[in-house]
Amino acid sequence: MIVAYLRVSTERQHLINQRNEITKFAQARGMTIDRWEKEVVSGRCRKEDRNLGHLLKSLKSGDSLIVTELSRLSRTLYDIMSVLNNCLERKITVYSTKDGYAFDDSINSKVLAFAFGLVAEIERNLISLRTREALATRRQAGIRLGRPANYRPKHQLLNEKRERIADLLKQGVPVKTICLRYGFSRSTFYKHWKENKINPPSDRY
């Protein structure tokens, strides 16, 4: 199967030029486009959140993907390399008409696949390193990481709704019903009542 992928960032741009470019490219090589995939979305959007992500998953070994430029795949070099490396590993040929690239099963493409994979791994390591360094800097600055001590959102909700809950209990509304209404467990409910030295309602509720 031969698939053409067309993408523009805004509605004001037109896909027709990309379509004409790919049509000429295919005709010159005796290729027939089996599927046209079009979308209007920023290239900065993750491929998983675009039609491109679903398209790539549907491609099989021996299929071909044609774009007018590699930048149509993404606006970041890392994502472009990730897409190309994935296609090369799965024996999916990628053509870029304006760039003049053909990423196939040739030795040159295999060398590129190795280079792409290496760069992608280096980038992942750099991201991890930058994250660790940023966290270390925050610790040295005395900034507490993670959730605040005694962070208990359910107990906070119980505090905020205490008067309303007390009214419901006086009206005879069962504890189970109150817990379901506000989204906390019976154990949290009773623990909160005891910690705040309030006589908890009878278990008969």
Domain tally, the chain: 2
7 near 41, Cβ under 8 Å?
Answer: yes
Residue 131 — pLDDT band, cuts 50, 70, 90? confident
Q: 114 with 40, same domain?
A: yes
Does residue 141 sit within a domain?
no
160 near 166, Cβ under 8 Å?
Answer: no
Does residue 169 sit within a domain?
yes
Integer Cα distance of 161 and 21 in angstroms: 63
The CATH number covering residue 116 comes to 3.40.50.1390
Distance between terminal CA atoms of the chain?
65
101 near 39, Cβ under 8 Å?
Answer: no
Does residue 62 sit within a domain?
yes
Range of the domain at 190: 153-195
Q: 69 with 116, same domain?
A: yes
Query: What CA–CA distances, in Å, run from 37 to 3, 8, 9, 150?
Result: 7, 12, 15, 51
pLDDT digits (tens, 9 = 90+) for 101-129: 888 878 877 777 677 667 767 777 777 77
Does residue 147 sit within a domain?
no
| pTM beyond cutoff 0.75 | no
pLDDT digits (tens, 9 = 90+) for 140-191: 777 766 655 555 666 677 777 778 888 888 888 888 888 887 777 878 777 7
Integer Cα distance of 70 and 41 in angstroms: 15
- The CA-based angle 152-155-156, given to 5 degrees, is 85
Q: 16 with 102, same domain?
A: yes
